[in-house]
Structure 1
């Protein structure tokens, strides 16, 4: 479909219903292998033919859903690229709020590796941009970029799956404590 044409509101509604249906089914079953077009169409109270008007298959629907979520998170992460430390904690909390708002969907989509991989890349790019903006090179940071990114990803994934009782502000505080201060050659052995 061309970007110059406005999408039919019925098509928008149908796509939304299919996306809501697949999320609902994934929350119940937690297994992608049991998802079928028929199950998704039935849950959406639409037919299979309508499904195929919008998606090639279940994987295509999941990919579009993951892309939609990632685009939203990408917009929310942009303010964190600024190197001004003044309201850094607040910007991190706003980003984590957007993750919290989509926590159920993210928990389900983390089971499909594409979202996890793309979110890792988004976070890695953020860290690289912040280092660049601060004019820091890799040698000035004792922790490798990939390790730092994996650590933040791990925190977010744990939070979404098992630690959701903690607020976005609390998680932002914890991330800042882990990564916000300049490391002075000390080894933090875990506690």
Structure 2
């Protein structure tokens, strides 16, 4: 019986997330009510409050889900490899494809307007992975954490540029451009085992 309740809770949370995203496509967060979200999700306000404190908490949970997916795609880009070249387009591509497939939510995250701090969350999720699972092969006069933050937050500007242009360029083109830029900063990184 507890398993059914857990599945029901997961399904309800998923429905609430989908409902909020659907409403955000129509209007600003400040113009959306909890009642609207709950009704669209097929539940009531009490059910909403049993899962989330407010709409910000729900939006934060949505962002967390998508950033987790982003990290999974980042890891996929170097899975089963011993080292990766900075200018390897295939390494960049999974991230760009994931963002492209989820343009709406990543537009909100990258622009940082709806959920303050989401840009930092975006960067910190990538910094954490690259800082713990990758290391430079060559020596650097710049400390590795500094280079990691510079590269990641610089990439934020790159992704933001893409979002501001409504993702018009395909993921392959953007991955090639970022690979070129990163290839100018370092040559190769090795994957920690």
The corresponding residue for 1:8 is: 6
Is contact 1:80–1:88 with CA below 8 Å preserved after alignment?
Answer: no
Quote the offset at 1:100 in angstroms: 1.1
Write the distance in 2 (CA, Å) between the matches of 1:182 and 1:106.
26
The corresponding residue for 1:175 is: 178
| Of 47-56 and 154-163, the range deviating more from structure 2 | 154-163
Report SS of the residue matched to 2:154.
helix
Q: Does 1:50 align with 2:53?
A: no
Quote the offset at 1:61 in angstroms: 0.8
Question: Which runs of structure 1 show a deviation greater than 6 angstroms over 4 or more consecutive aligned residues?
Answer: none
In the superposition, the TM-score normalised over structure 2's length comes to: 0.76
Structure 1 unaligned segments of length 5 or more: list them.
184-191
The corresponding residue for 2:158 is: 155
Write the distance in 2 (CA, Å) between the matches of 1:145 and 1:35.
38
Higher relative contact order, structure no. (Cα contacts within 8 Å, ≥ 6 residues apart)? 2
Report SS of the residue matched to 2:85.
coil
Is contact 1:124–1:146 with CA below 8 Å preserved after alignment?
Answer: yes
Quote the offset at 1:20 in angstroms: 0.8
Q: Select 1:75's aligned residue among 66, 72, 77.
A: 72
Is contact 2:84–2:91 with CA below 8 Å preserved after alignment?
Answer: no
For 1:51-79, what per-residue CA distance to the aligned partner results, in whole angstroms no more than 9, with x for missing partners? Answer: 11221221211121111111111111124
Write the distance in 2 (CA, Å) between the matches of 1:146 and 1:63.
23
Write the distance in 1 (CA, Å) between the matches of 2:30 and 2:174.
33
| Larger strand fraction of residues | 2
Is contact 2:34–2:48 with CA below 8 Å preserved after alignment?
Answer: yes
Q: How large is the Cα RMSD of the aligned pairs? A: 2.9
The count of aligned residue pairs is: 178
Q: Does 1:134 align with 2:137?
A: yes
Structure 2 unaligned segments of length 5 or more: list them.
187-193
Q: Does 1:34 align with 2:45?
A: no
